[in-house]
Structure 1
Amino acid sequence: MAEKYIIRVTAGPDYDMDCQQEVPVNSPRPLKFSTDLMDIELNVRVQHYRGLPRNSPSTSPYFDREPHKYNNDQYSISLKFTPKKPQEDMTTLTEGGERVDDEGEEVPDDVATRGISGNDLQFGNDFDHPIRDRLPPGFGTAMNIVKWWIDPGLEGDAYADKPYLYGAALSSFNAVHVGPPKEEEEKKDGEEGGEVGIWVEEGGDQAGLEWRSELGVPEDAKRRMKWALDKANKEKWVWEYGRTYGADFYNPYIDFKDYALRLPGFNLPIMKYWDGQGLRNHPKHSHQLRYVLRNRSTGHVYLVVLFTLHLAEDINEDGSLKPAAIEALRTSSGAEGEKGEPLADPKPKDNGGFDEDKALEEAKKKLEGVSLDEKPDGGNDDVD
């Protein structure tokens, strides 16, 4: 079934498809763009990649390096970014002289002028349409495992009209570097060097390490992620305007070769449910995975990365999209069917007798006694 589709990865500083650029997946050459809010360089790597552009490398030396080889990581979104001070102040002064964000939470004056609060910079997934009628049996179990085992800081609602799942960037990114990360360009003939592009290691340059130490930020990545689950700690951290950072998000849980979600003790064959919805009938709905870097308080969007599945027949030989596919991607948000008629109000699917409590209990048993620093046993229990 998977061979019927071709994956394409694009990225840009906005949801608008006209702002999206095709990402050279597994290439060491970063994609770069700049806005009034942030300068960003981006590398995307996918293990066993067989998508666009045509003749893209199927892998990257990145996956042969530690910790990614040991983790069996399947994909990575690596960033080098520099926040910029907005031209307009998005905070408000109350009658009492307090500065608050649009949610009414107090923002210290020094944070408002220095950068983005660690409590505000978010990274995660969202959709501009309901997906509750397309969630497969076992989805609730999968989300419980993700929040329990992978990122306890995630918050969201998959059943909302505009579903989302965001976590604080400070606790969601696997590696955070305060200061410019390494940039290992593709080596030329006769020269030594890396071939991975942006390479992010936990820590920072000399000034960044001193800054982290002053805040009491743990040196170890996993401990930093745990430290950042505390709201008070997140508020200490400010992503400063004008300072460059490195960040890397990676994991072994999404298999883009077979389009499956593989969690500890629990596997979910995504393609089975994607195919059943009909990509051609609802091209805006069930064929995209969207990662977003955003500001919780102001609503500013800094980065949108799209993993899009296209029917193979909608791709030209040179790898360009056929007109129908382009039009589908550019269609304004809003749930419409093939002929433009509104879709019926989505309702949750029947779970087909799937026992989510039992499945979650089985996953917990597989992980009992396993340290977060250890690699858990991979489960083979597919959800049908």
Structure 2
Amino acid sequence: MADKYIIRVTAGSSYDLDEHVQVPVNTSTPVQLSSEHMDVELNVRVQNYKGLPRDSPHTSPYFDHEPHAYNKDQYSIAFRFTPKRPSPSASSSDSDDPPSSSSSSAEDEQPKGISGHDLQFGNDFDHPIRTRLPPGFGTAMNIVKWWIDPGLEGDAYADEPYLYGPALSSFNAIHAGPGEHDDAKGGLWFAEGGDEEGMAVREQVGAPADAKARMKWALKGDSKDRWVWEYGRTYGVDFYNPYVDFGEFALRLPGFHLPIIKYWDGQALRPGSNDHPKRSHQLRYVLRNRSTGHVYLVVLFTLYLKDDVNEDGSLKPAALQATAKASGGQGRKGEPVDAPEGEEKTDDFDEDKALDEARRKLSSVELGGETNGDDVD
């Protein structure tokens, strides 16, 4: 089934696909995005990439460097961003009254940036997927939350499903500063830490210099209280792992393997049935503000039927219509799903075996630059 599709990656400062640009996967040139809330430079790398644009490299030198070579990481979403201070409210700007001591005091109390509680990164959908979740989905979520990112919160059964974590604990690397751009490393490259000023800020709030320690530290409420993503300061972040194989369209958690294409975007494809393959499937990663609802960055991975893509890589009208429909919350509701042919049904899924395999294998995987042992809370 996977050979019927081709992948395309786009990014924008909102969910609006009309404002998205195509991402040149595995090239060192970052995509630049800007909105009233944030400036962003983005690189996306995917191992064994076979998607659009058609001349895209199949890999990136990024994966030859540590810790990615050791981890066998399969993809990376790396970007540097600069939050912008919100514009003054219309009521304040329209006032003819001279500044008073109280107004000056209020200005001093204005937030200096986005709270560590509020900046979130994760996945969401704008339509229900609860009736199309695969066998063992709950086990997969336990593996992710217990051993990979304990800060994740979400509801896969909601009308608008989501899975978000605080950016402070979700990103594998956080660099308080612009980081570096190195063609030999695949473009944007961010080591845990920061520039001289950024390191001073990290030390002031008690953020560990080590990635794994910072991720654990960030799970505490008082840590998120102290950390602020400051307006006007540039940060570099990198999100990567070995678990999602976009080359083969598969999820490969230890103890849990799933061909994504059979469930991508909540649509189970049943080989041998009378169902026609869905023309497009989407998975989106979102950087957002929990309190305000502002969306800063959307990275969208979309699968298209190869027949819907022209030789030059442009999309045929049918593909554009399918993408618009998939993004419009028009997923089918209330339909039960059987396990696809060749897949185990939920009743046969061995949860204990899957969890034991996950414990064994994840103990040696580097999630943030050092071995992830059993001391992860």
TM-score by length of 2: 0.84
Aligned position for 2:309: 315
Could you tell me which amino acid in structure 1 is paired with residue 167 of structure 2? Answer: A
- For structure 1, the 5+ residue unaligned runs are 91-107, 187-193, 337-342, 377-384
Closer/same/farther in 2, CA of residues 131 and 349 from structure 1, 3 Å limit = farther
Contact 1:171 1:229 in 2 (8 A): yes
Alignment counterpart, residue 326 of structure 1, candidates 320, 324, 328:
320
Closer/same/farther in 2, CA of residues 183 and 364 from structure 1, 3 Å limit = closer
Aligned position for 1:358: 352
User: Shift of residue 277 of structure 1?
Assistant: 3.2
Could you tell me which amino acid in structure 2 is paired with residue 227 of structure 1? Answer: W
Alignment counterpart, residue 277 of structure 1, candidates 269, 277, 284:
269
Helix, strand or coil for the counterpart of 2:70?
helix
Deviations 1:246-278 (A, max 9, x none): 000000000112111111232222223448438
Q: Aligned partners of 1:119 and 1:356: how far apart in 2?
A: 36
Aligned position for 1:302: 296
Contact 1:259 1:271 in 2 (8 A): yes
Deviations 1:122-174 (A, max 9, x none): 00000000111221101111111000110000000111110000000000000
Q: Aligned partners of 1:14 and 1:353: how far apart in 2?
A: 40
Q: Aligned partners of 2:59 and 2:364: how far apart in 1?
A: 29
Contact 1:61 1:195 in 2 (8 A): yes
1:143 paired with 2:138, answer no
CA RMSD of aligned residues (A): 2.5
Aligned position for 1:374: 371
Alignment counterpart, residue 205 of structure 1, candidates 195, 201, 208:
195
Q: Aligned partners of 1:280 and 1:325: how far apart in 2?
A: 14
Contact 1:141 1:356 in 2 (8 A): no
Could you tell me which amino acid in structure 2 is paired with residue 292 of structure 1? Answer: V
Aligned position for 2:26: 26
Paired residue total: 343
User: Shift of residue 111 of structure 1?
Assistant: 7.4
Q: Aligned partners of 2:234 and 2:252: how far apart in 1?
A: 34
Closer/same/farther in 2, CA of residues 171 and 195 from structure 1, 3 Å limit = closer
Q: Aligned partners of 2:305 and 2:199: how far apart in 1?
A: 47
Matches within 5 A, 1:184-333: 184=182, 186=183, 194=184, 196-274=186-264, 276-277=268-269, 283=279, 287-331=281-325, 333=328
Contact 1:123 1:291 in 2 (8 A): yes
Closer/same/farther in 2, CA of residues 370 and 29 from structure 1, 3 Å limit = closer
Matches within 5 A, 1:8-19: 8-19=8-19
Q: Aligned partners of 1:282 and 1:298: how far apart in 2?
A: 34
Q: Aligned partners of 1:280 and 1:292: how far apart in 2?
A: 30
Deviations 1:12-63 (A, max 9, x none): 0000110111000000000001111000000000001000001100000000
Deviations 1:330-352 (A, max 9, x none): 2362326xxxxxx4434576744
Closer/same/farther in 2, CA of residues 369 and 24 from structure 1, 3 Å limit = closer
1:335 paired with 2:327, answer no
Deviations 1:173-203 (A, max 9, x none): 000000111012x4xxxxxxx2511111101
Closer/same/farther in 2, CA of residues 65 and 28 from structure 1, 3 Å limit = same
